[in-house]
A and B are shown apart, each in its own frame.
Chain A
């Protein structure tokens, strides 16, 4: 039997290596392999996307990942669970609701997928964005579980009476006047939207559930999934009333009907107008927000507080002002330390949820990192070949495609449409101005302003492309969004007329079965080889099977 401690073979092998080779091996160990030599695709186990081993990024960055991302986030997640409602509530929630148990336990793999290949400040700043989203997610589902009558033997406790439920595209800011006494938690943000990014398997149950009751499969799968969680009786009963809206489109109106049926609670409908450029429509929207405030006063018995509203809006404006600073660095330098997926997800989450302590904490950390990269002129994505702007709505099951695209092709997604939707602060100098700006913000909802908000807004792409110094467009093509489908040909014409390099990413928002991740990669590979005539930076990432991955 071979002696496992016999190292003579190893010694002989080392002896044969020349000094240069040894030095190179040590350098790769110390600094991590340079971009072109990483072969990240070889780290995956077949189909599952699990790693044979996690990436060795050099001593410093591997230890940073181990201590400051992996271990730090496991520990802070437990602390967050305890802070926001306790481990017992969490365990009860996991046992009762598929969307939390199946989705959020493997959350660190979500970090892994989004942060692959990153080094130094880009790794640190992007990871802080993920930390912010995790904290906010735990805060919300723990509030649901704390207030949920189903987990507390039918009891309507204090938390239940002090929680406001709403649709995920109702901006959290409209509840600021009551934010010192009430928590607002959207019904779909955590059970649906975030799950698709973390574990794309979960949502399929809900899409199938809504089709199983005879509804057609061709409307937007987001609307299907959001209705499906109600059909599956998988929404906690955590609030005495709800604010709903038509979200971005007509399919969501059907979702609202089902929610009205299954919630069986007082509901106020706060529509999002389609033609939001019309000043009369804005007036109408302002009146509707005021009506909703009256509804909340009536339901809660607590009067509207303008002081509280202004206090929170000022805090939200601080977040927006830092976001503008970030955009400035992203647009005009090579020192922006946030990768495409962290930028997109954090920004849409933060701007839709509204003010939250964790966003300020994350922004403070990111500001420090960004100031250093700018001061030291650190090229954060040194292998950038193209600066890409991503436009329209992204595939939720493959939001980390841009991490892959940078590692494989040097495509650096600098900015995306969802980040740019709420390009405004809100005036707080008078009630009238505040209400007017809040109506504007509400009308610029996700999937509304630049996705189905009319051609003028869809075509804001050209302006932002120039502003962010991008030379390429990643154009999302949500196959089941009738609004965007209608504009496909117009974009094709414009790309040709303007001589813009653009590739399409077809997808079905949360449903990974319609266009697989491998198919998305194949389309980009084809474009990069046949149109751009470029060679991949990491050929091991061209083709791999991740069909079963989270």
Chain B
């Protein structure tokens, strides 16, 4: 078990997190994927709530309505790299402190994390049932016209994780390291193949 980060979190706490640390988050977070980022940043529609100090989760849940309440049946991360186009500006404009997704993010997001003091963490992809276990309450939903996966879901979570910090507020990017090393290995493997034929 790793450290539990309570949301909203502080700049001080974010600065204490380093790449490779395993954390869990407790408190308020919202889902935001392609359409939420685009509506906010491209169309310029203000977000329905203040995200300062909170977390966003790149995720589109499976939700069913039971009476007047939404129930989360499955929620896990979507591929974060699609949000690379927007994330710098999103972090800058919202003051969000923790970005959660899967597969890692690129150099622009890492730059934003360094400049505006935020972290990016990976929740194991495909673990939607595990994610739903951590959802204590579906507090609300905004922008439902975007469809269930793309809507902005406001969730109260308890110890959502494990999350591996792969970008810290110092500009370190663990995924970039793995990817660069895979690229280097791939080109040496391909050169070997060419020599052997």
Q: Answer whether A and B are interacting partners.
A: no
